Amino acid sequence: MKIRYSLFAVMILAVFFALLTVKEDIYRKPQQKSKISIPHNMSENLDLAGGPEREVRGFPKREIVDLITMYPDLFIASGDSSEKKVALTFDDGPDDVFTPQILDILKDKNVKATFFVIGKRADSFSEVMQRIVDEGHLAGNHTWSHPNIMKISLEDAKEEVLKTEKLLNSYYKDSKDRVKIFRSPYGSIDPKRVEFFGDIGYKIISWNVDSLDWKGLSAEEVKTNVLENVVNGSIILQHSAGGEGEDLSGSVEALSEIIEVLKAEGFEFVTVDEILKDKQEKDRQDNDKLK
Ligand SMILES: [Zn+2]
């Protein structure tokens, strides 16, 4: 009888210690992430007018799906799913901290990408902007000051976009033939605004792979978010500059490996205009089949 009691006591103790270890593990995990803090050296007037991504973002997925269905030719979140191509896109640059590092990696890997630039930053960091163009990347319109366009008038939003368009055109010789692409700050847009920008010649470019790098994630987390969600024709969202206090070092650190892994899987890296061209061609073929 006594032996049975002591056995029982030993078992209880074992369970207790096992629980203790598991619990400690749970508590330890959040501390493992080392957050390198980078001084925010962007002057205040160059900050994101609508506030940091982390405070404004949260665009519901359902609404993106609605817009894709409503405006298949205007609102684009991915390309032709039969082509093994992906487009890397970088928002909110240029700056003189993260954008040059991203450009170095892209150059080293011989990959062309698309930068959705903020006009006033392109104006201030003109040398970095010039690099984007000279090194064969595509620049898209991400407004002049990065406001939340749902909270300003259509006229003001149009002015933000046209001012940026003028600046971008000054960089590209073939500005007349350039496909006009626009990405809305924080991804926030509604049908009225999609139609409005469509009417002035823009394609609205969303994404179907979000690195969530604006949350200041580690390289490992950024890699996982991208690589686990990539499919043929994916448009991948990363950032090449941040808002107040945003640390993108994880995103920069992840980039080389993201490129290597996708290259090894046979993906070709293209700019968003090529994704658009492929998609239009595919849609045309599909329509022909229906006739
Ligand atoms: Zn943005």
pLDDT number for residue 158: 97
Q: What is the pLDDT of residues 234-250, one digit of tens each?
A: 999 999 998 877 899 99
Q: What is the pTM of this model?
A: 0.84
Using the mean position of ligand 1's atoms as its centre, give its distance from the Cα of residue 142 in Å.
7
Using the mean position of ligand 1's atoms as its centre, give its distance from the Cα of residue 91 in Å.
5
150, two tokens? 């749902």
Judged against a pLDDT cut of 60, whether residue 140 lies above it is answered with yes
Residue 41 confidence class, pLDDT cut points 50, 70, 90: low
User: Which residue shows structure tokens 């969202």?
Assistant: 237
pLDDT number for residue 202: 97
Residue 196 C-alpha from the chain's centroid = 23
How many Å apart are CA 118 and CA 91, to the nearest integer? 8
Candidate list 47, 80, 91, 210, residue with the active-site label: 91
Stated length of the chain: 291
Residue 211: domain span? 44-286
Residue 40 confidence class, pLDDT cut points 50, 70, 90: low
Using the mean position of ligand 1's atoms as its centre, give its distance from the Cα of residue 266 in Å.
29
Long-range CB pairs of 255-258, under 8 A, 24+ apart, other chains included: 255/102, 255/105, 255/106, 256/105, 256/108, 256/109, 257/219, 257/223, 258/222, 258/223, 258/226, 258/227
- Is 167 among the domain residues? yes
Name which residue leads in pLDDT, 15 or 90: 90
Pairing of strands 85-91, 75-76: unpaired
Tell me which of 83-87, 108-112, 169-173 is least confident.
169-173
- Is 183 among the domain residues? yes
Please tell me the total count of domains within the chain.
1
Using the mean position of ligand 1's atoms as its centre, give its distance from the Cα of residue 189 in Å.
13
For residue 274, count other CB atoms closer than 10 A to its CB: 19
- Is 36 among the domain residues? no
Candidate list 137, 142, 146, 239, residue with the active-site label: 239
Q: What is the pLDDT of residues 182-224, one digit of tens each?
A: 999 999 999 999 999 999 999 999 999 999 999 999 999 999 9
Q: What is the pLDDT of residues 270-281, one digit of tens each?
A: 999 999 999 999
Residue 290 confidence class, pLDDT cut points 50, 70, 90: confident
Q: Is the peptide bond before 52 cis (omega within 30 degrees of 0)?
A: no
CB environment 117-156: b (16+ within 10 A), e (fewer) = bbbbbbbbbeebbebbbeeebbbbbbbbbbbbbbebeeee
Active-site residue flag, 213: no
Residues 109-123, mean pLDDT to the nearest whole number: 98
- Is 27 among the domain residues? no
Tell me which of 10-14, 102-106, 259-263 is least confident.
10-14
Residue 188 maps to which CATH number? 3.20.20.370
pLDDT over 70, % of the chain: 85
pLDDT number for residue 206: 96
Active-site residue flag, 239: yes
Using the mean position of ligand 1's atoms as its centre, give its distance from the Cα of residue 101 in Å.
18
- Is 92 among the domain residues? yes
pLDDT number for residue 31: 35
- Is 279 among the domain residues? yes
Residue 170 C-alpha from the chain's centroid = 25
Q: What is the pLDDT of residues 178-193, one digit of tens each?
A: 889 999 999 999 999 9
- Is 156 among the domain residues? yes
pLDDT number for residue 37: 42
Question: For the purposes of burial, counting CB atoms within 10 Å of the CB of 114, is it exposed (0-12), middle (13-18) or buried (19 or more)?
Answer: buried
Using the mean position of ligand 1's atoms as its centre, give its distance from the Cα of residue 232 in Å.
24
- Is 11 among the domain residues? no
